[in-house]
Amino acid sequence: MIRTNQGHVVRALTIAGSDSGGGAGIQADLKTMHQFQVYGMSVLTSLTAQNTIGVQGIYEVNPDFVRLQLESVYTDFGVDAVKTGMLANAGIIHTVADFLRHICVENLVVDPVMVAKGGAPLLRQESVATLKEELLPLTMVITPNVMETEALCGYPIRNFEDCHRAAIDIAALGPRAVVIKGGHMPREWMKNTSNLVVDLLYAEGQFTYFAGERMDTHKTHGTGCTFSSALTAMLARGASVLDAMSAAKAFVHEAVRGAEAWDVGTGHGPTDHSAPISVGFKPVPSAFYIWQDNQTWLPYHGADLPSL
């Protein structure tokens, strides 16, 4: 395990739902944190009966018990970074936000989990306002996909220009950095580079892009959880948001690639959390990077890319 300059083991906490299938939720979070040599802890907000085919049932944890878990973890272990995933309802969001505000968490990653891969709702619609009002002002990085971005900003996302506008608007709600994930972006948005999946990072008034090869695979269950957990682990280790972003994106890309060789589940299969990690890259803001097969980030200077 990695240790801080003060000598203690680096610790990260995931506040999220359980995936009984093991590919997403706290199971994916803890696997990812361990891969990044960070000690992972968990607070459960909900239980799901879930597999690669879909979500068969959800049991939401009482907010008072969520708080008890938070108190148990924090008073004994402490935390270097926290991420939230599935929060389920407004009561849980309020409880989590109130606790995190009280302990003054610096490194908070919010993955605004709203819908499962198979389409099952994981956050009540009326809870979005509570998320925006109470949790986002405490947030270091928020990591929505395109659909979640639309729910947060309140208007449709039809192109990269809309993504830019939405990132700025979401940042105005409090997060110091906004990552709009590209997995659900239509191919035509990328014009001559439609074979890429591009994640957009907006931080300190600048846009930076990280792209990986678009793989035609159904083994992408839990990619959002895995990405946000990798980001959290890197922040816990002391990385900047930009450095954490490059490591998290690279890890997810290799985890999806690694899952091509196995047969776990019959639906949207999970990623391979034993993928190698790459944490040494130092990206420059306002650039466009592509993850190469030789496991390095390279600047890209092609035509018809989003305006930098």
Domain boundaries in the chain?
11-299
Active site residue: 22, 182, 212, 222, which one? 222
Q: How far is Cα 42 from Cα 21, in angstroms, rounded to an integer?
A: 17
Q: How far is Cα 69 from Cα 74, in angstroms, rounded to an integer?
A: 9
Would the CA dihedral through 122, 124, 127, 128 be positive or negative?
Answer: positive
pLDDT at 99 (0 to 100): 98
* Secondary structure (DSSP) of 121-133: B-B-GGGHHHIII
Percent of residues, the chain, with pLDDT higher than 90: 69
pLDDT at 308 (0 to 100): 47
Q: Is 265 a catalytic residue?
A: no
User: 11-299 — its CATH code?
Assistant: 3.40.1190.20
**b/e code 134-153 from CB counts within 10 Å (16+ = b):** bbbebbbbbbbbbebbbbbb
pLDDT at 191 (0 to 100): 62
Of residues 215 and 50, more confidently modeled: 50
User: For residue 21, is pLDDT > 90?
Assistant: yes
User: For residue 142, is pLDDT > 70?
Assistant: yes
Active site residue: 130, 223, 226, 271, which one? 223
Q: Is 223 a catalytic residue?
A: yes
Q: Is 54 a catalytic residue?
A: no
The confidence band for 215, taking pLDDT boundaries of 50, 70 and 90, is confident
Q: What is the pLDDT of residues 65-103, one digit of tens each?
A: 999 999 999 999 999 999 999 998 999 999 999 999 999
Active site residue: 17, 23, 85, 224, which one? 224
Q: Is 83 a catalytic residue?
A: no
Active site residue: 225, 226, 249, 269, which one? 225
Specify the range with the lowest mean pLDDT, choosing from 22-31, 184-193, 220-229. Answer: 184-193
Average pLDDT of the chain?
A: 90
Largest CA distance in the chain: 54
Q: Which amino acid is at 153?
A: C
Tokens for 83? 């991420």
Q: How far is Cα 70 from Cα 66, in angstroms, rounded to an integer?
A: 6
Best CA proximity match to 226, nearest among 81, 31, 80: 31
